[in-house]
Structure 1
Amino acid sequence: MAHLLDPTAHADNWLWALCVLLAAVVVGALLPVLPTGAVVSAMAALGHHRSWVSFTEVVLVGAAAAYVADLVLYALLLRGSHTRWGRTLQRRAERQGHLDDLGRRLSRHDVGTLTTSRLLPGARVPVMAAAAATDYPLVRFAVADVLPVACWAVAYAGLGLAGRSVSDRPWVGALAAVAFGVAASGAVTLVRRWRAR
């Protein structure tokens, strides 16, 4: 642990940690089994213990991993919109977010809609399914998704900084960052349910 957080130590340990972050965000974004935001928050807290450069590396790697995962998932949705898997995702999107309405929002305000869907728990896949159902171009998606993933990475890294401020002990800060991320996601979900009623 000391080697991971010591900025003067050999960089291999930190490089491996960044590789784990990259893999965790890509896998978590493609298969929602891992809370990717919490991973970025925890790594940001640990990175800040190390140095501001390490913190910045966490933001950049987290954003890049989220971007790659979004492109892969969107390409799969575009190809699979006529498959059973694609239709299942589209039905889920219809139940959660009115597919036609999401498609109209994307055509008018693609960056804003994608940013909102990135930051709201459970909204990313329905918006991407709506985009695929309306044949939103992959190249346009690739351009429009740059700002949303950057905002997402900065937001969760900010929660990492908040967790880091709780304690000088690295793991306590990382756990606090994860707790802040879970609390923020839970609060957003509660507000969305309240507004839906």
Structure 2
Amino acid sequence: MITFGGLVAAAAVMFGVVAVGSILPVLPTGAAVSATAVLAAHYSPLAVPAVIAVGGLGAYLGDAVTFAICRAGGEALTRRLRLLRTDWKLAETVRERLQRRPVPALLVSRLVPGGRIPVLLAAAIVGLSWRTFIVSNIAAALLWSATYSAIGLLSRNVFPQPWQGVVCAIVVVLAAGQVASWVQKRRQKAKDAGAEVTP
């Protein structure tokens, strides 16, 4: 049986994992949201929106810190971390997408493995305003949190016990991330091979 205190503790841990994982991308942020959503649904369906809000807040704060670091470091940070090649055409394309449709651009960058930091870095380099980032990232962070909560809720409907749903949600999110990363690497490898063949 999930208690209110247990749910609050799980939400606090999730917030920490998501906030820190949004700055240092080594923690499974999506899995944390999915697992907490499963626990919340077993406690009460009314608790799920709170999990979405707390997950979104953690993602938003982590993104804001990352964006601030990228703006402070700029081109020097780009060269040092080698996260984004100095391809100004690519950076300009990212800037245009962020300015025309910032919410989808920021949301997709969160959903694609390894996509968030290069997009935030490109946005910082080409001068995306703080105002645009602050307003747009609210919706992007909440939509991201809702997406991973939905993944958790789907697993909850399959398994009767909370721990089974939690394990399933974590496995599904991590496996999906690995598959997406593998596909992305294969596409990049094929693109690089095509570029070498072209005279």
TM range (shorter): 0.7 to 0.9
User: Could you tell me how far apart the structure 1 residues matched to 2:80 and 2:158 are?
Assistant: 43
2:178 aligned to 166, 169, 186, which one? 186
1: distance between equivalents of 2:125 and 2:8?
39
Equivalent position to 1:77, from 56, 70, 79: 70
What is the match of residue 32 of structure 2? 39
Contact 1:30 1:73 in 2 (8 A): yes
Q: Partners in 2 of 1:179 and 1:187 — Cα distance? A: 12
AA of the residue aligned to 1:35: P
2:138 pairs with 1:146: yes
1:23 paired residue number: 16
1:94 equivalent in structure 2: 85
> Which one-letter code corresponds to 2:23 in the other structure?
L
Q: Tell me the distance in 1 between the aligned counterparts of 2:5 and 2:176.
A: 33
The alignment's TM-score, normalised by the length of structure 2, stands at: 0.85
* Gaps in structure 1 of 5+ consecutive residues: none
Is the 8 Å Cα contact of residues 81 and 87 (structure 1) preserved in structure 2? no
CA distance 1:102–1:88, change in 2 (3 Å): farther
Deviations for 1:101-126, whole angstroms, at most 9, x for unmatched residues? 32232233222211211111110000
Q: 1:118 to 1:66 in 2, by over 3 A?
A: same
Identity of aligned residues (%): 34
Structure 2 letter corresponding to 1:167: F
- 1:80 alignment partner, SS class: helix
Question: 1:12 Cα deviation (Å)?
Answer: 3.2
SS of the residue corresponding to residue 145 of structure 1 reads helix
Structure 1 length as normaliser, TM-score? 0.86
Q: Is 2:97 aligned against 1:105?
A: yes
The answer as to 2:98 corresponding to 1:118 is: no
Q: What RMSD, in angstroms, separates the aligned Cα atoms of the two structures?
A: 2.2
| Number of aligned residue pairs | 188
Amino acid at match of 1:139: R
